[in-house]
Chain A
Amino acid sequence: MSPVRPPLAGAFSAFRGFVVKEVRHILRDWQTLLILIGMPVAQVLLFGYAVRSDVRGVKLAIVEPQPDAATQSLRARFEGATGTFTLVKVVRNVAELDTDFRSGDVRQAIVLPTDFAGRLGRDERVPVQVVTDGADPNTGGIMEADALAVLRQWHVAREAGTPGAQGVRIDVETRMRFNPTLESVNLFVPGLIAYVLTIVSALMTAITIVREKELGTMEMLLVSPLRPRQIVIGKVAPYVLLGFLDVVLVLGASQVIFHVPLRGNVPLLLAESTLYTLTALSMGIVISTAASTQRVAMMAALAGTMLPTMLISGFIFPIAALPWPLRVLSNVVPARWFIIIVRGIMLKGAGLADLWRETLILAGITTALIAVGIRRLAVRLTG
């Protein structure tokens, strides 16, 4: 026996009324709304100014056992790199720096050999040591790369054609190509979009659905002619819009304040962001089917979506630097793929032809999550 379907117009107006209700909930909880709109801008400022991993004013020492013309000119080069380096000490022996390293008065030392100018003149391989305070591996790595860059520039300027440290050169060039000023804010903005969308979409969706369970209104809705599918879509639809608004805000703020480049196609970027919003929403839906209280939903969303988005997506720590179990795990973190997409579009001007693989993965994850979410919701609520 085929069930009698309600007329389409009626079903649609029921759905529309339901969305209107959800919009009213959002607008009336103006404190939350203010956070959701203000947070992205605050995050851009925070990451742009405070959490940037560019290293400024590194306290540098130069160890020159035997000053000569070459050491003088190298020293001048580092002194010229004001902003990045502050030359605080010139000593004869690296051992003299032990206490300075410990106290943090010196963060990095360039150790030159004896007879520097002479050996360079004879075309020998000249050992130069760069000692870096590695207590904070992130900044340590950056300081090291910066120092190597200065060394290389000096070397190239001095003797064009003589290769310096090979392994390093390629690394530096890679970074130079897409991020010539080495501004970390450029790298953070794509991750930030993923992060903000995760909060707005996954966290808020999980909370808003579980809230109805807690209040008992979910039962009323499930007993009504609305289908579980309509309830879920109606509840999350306004958040798609809110997520979109946040993407525009993050992009706008990073353009206006930090002049982050946007080399690729803007409609493509917005389309990919909408896809990721759907991914995050579906994560929220899956969480909401498992959580019975808003508190549980919130903790699950924090641990299950926000932490992976921050830590194992390439947002803050490079994927390559993760231990292998986390590297494997990162494959199912949607933010990982989304960040590749956004970085590609914004910094490299990549198009869909370059990013179809990541887009497909994201679409696949989303489809799977939505299927699981709606299925579980229906089963969960009808026991």
Chain B
Amino acid sequence: MTPPAARPLAIDATALTRRFGSFTAVDAITFHVRPGEVFGFLGANGAGKTTAMRMLIGLLTPTEGEATVAGWSVATESEQIRRNIGYMSQKFSLYDDLTVGENVELYGGIYGLTDAEIRDRRSALLARLGLATHERSFVKSLPLGWKQQLAFSVALLHRPKIVFLDEPTGGVDPITRRKFWEMIYETAAGGTAVLVTTHYLDEAEYCDRLSIMVDGRIAAMGTPDDVKRAAGVASLDELFLRLTRPGAVEPAA
């Protein structure tokens, strides 16, 4: 296989595996994500989505297999990976007892931005989110939807090549989810790859490509249309149910 000439892959995983004792959480998954692509990781709880993501961002070491992120090996070059990725965890990842401005400042500092860069990007970020008047508000006083948009923006502050979102829209209302996805598209349009895990099937339709994980394996992968066509189903919903509950009797259409 010759790599694409123009730009290296954002993520390139080959037979990536993680075992915990005798339990195989991620079983030899192979996939890649191109720059500027929105790639969805779908699966039931416990299917291995989060474990796979944690290996790519350097929170877990793979048991077997290989992966590169932004061209760097997850096994040996996690330090370079860290400088080039953004991450938003399932749990809320800003500090409640710091103000909006202080949170932005903290992350900017951690990623080695200069004071001037932090200042500029902070005001741009707050203006974009409509939070300019809330710079001095404590994060805990913001509604959840705003917090999550803020967390996402903060994860992008150092302009990473790839951003990892682990169930970013849990618990927020549909309008905020919609806005959140607009932000994801904007980010991807700027050339950043986005790897997002979700179990909302409507969100899966928004992805450029997706993979459905079942018991640690990739059971289906491709664009939403490809995946549906290949399985001969009308909706991702139907496919998801068939893959995750193979024994279930399908409802008559």
Contact = CB atoms under 8 A, between A and B. Distances in A.
B93 A226 contact: no
B82 interface: yes
Contact of A13 (B54, B98, B112): B112
A3 B110 contact: no
B106 A18 contact: yes
A225 B84 CA distance: 9
A223 B87 CA distance: 7
A14 B109 contact: yes
Interface string B81-109: 01101010111111111100010011111
A162 B92 CA distance: 80
B110 A225 contact: yes
Nearest to A4: B80
Interface stretch (A21-29, A51-59, A311-319, A329-337): A21-29
B111 A21 contact: no
A381 B79 CA distance: 15
B186 interface: no
B60 interface: yes
A221 B58 contact: no
A217 interface: yes
Chain B interface bracket (under 10, 10 to 19, 20 to 34, 35 or more): 20 to 34
B57 interface: yes
Nearest to B106: A21
Nearest to A224: B110
A381 B74 CA distance: 16
Interface string A305-341: 0000000000000000000000000000000000000
B90 A225 contact: no
A224 B57 CA distance: 9
B92 A383 contact: no
A16 interface: yes
B226 interface: no
Interface string A205-229: 0000000000111011111111000
Contacts of B79: 3, 225
A219 B109 contact: no
A215 B91 contact: yes
A225 B98 contact: no
Given A28-B97, A383-B60, A219 B89 contact: yes
B112 A225 contact: yes
Contacts of A29: 97
Given A29-B97, A217-B93, A16 B59 contact: no
A367 B63 CA distance: 32
Contacts of A24: 97-98, 102
A382 interface: yes
A6 interface: yes
A219 B105 contact: no
Contacts of B82: 223-225
Given A3-B80, A225-B83, A216 B93 contact: yes
Interface string B37-76: 0000000000000000010011111000000000000001
State which size class the interface on A falls in: 20 to 34
B89 A225 contact: no
B112 A10 contact: yes
B77 interface: yes
B138 to A, nearest CB: 9
Contact of B59 (A14, A21, A215, A382): A382
A11 interface: yes
Interface string A4-46: 1011001101101110110011001100000000000000000
A226 B87 contact: no
A215 B97 CA distance: 12
Contact of A219 (B61, B85, B87): B87
Nearest to A29: B97
Nearest to B95: A217
A382 B106 contact: no
A216 B106 contact: no
Residue among B57, B79, B85, B112 with the most chain A CB within 10 A?
B112
Interface string B162-174: 0000000000000
B97 A224 contact: no
Contacts of B107: 224
B102 A21 contact: yes
A192 to B, nearest CB: 31
B112 A219 contact: no
Given A219-B59, A220-B87, A220-B93, A226 B112 contact: no
A23 to B, nearest CB: 11
18 contacts: A6-B112, A14-B112, A18-B109, A21-B98, A29-B97, A215-B91, A215-B92, A216-B90, A216-B92, A217-B95, A220-B87, A222-B58, A224-B107, A225-B82, A381-B59, A383-B54, A383-B59, A383-B60
Can you list the 7 inter-chain pairs with the closest CB atoms, starting with the nearest?
A: A216-B91, A17-B109, A10-B112, A383-B60, A223-B87, A220-B93, A28-B97
Given A10-B112, A224-B111, A382-B58, 14 more contacts: A18-B109, A20-B106, A21-B95, A24-B97, A24-B102, A25-B97, A28-B97, A217-B94, A219-B87, A219-B93, A222-B59, A225-B79, A225-B83, A382-B60
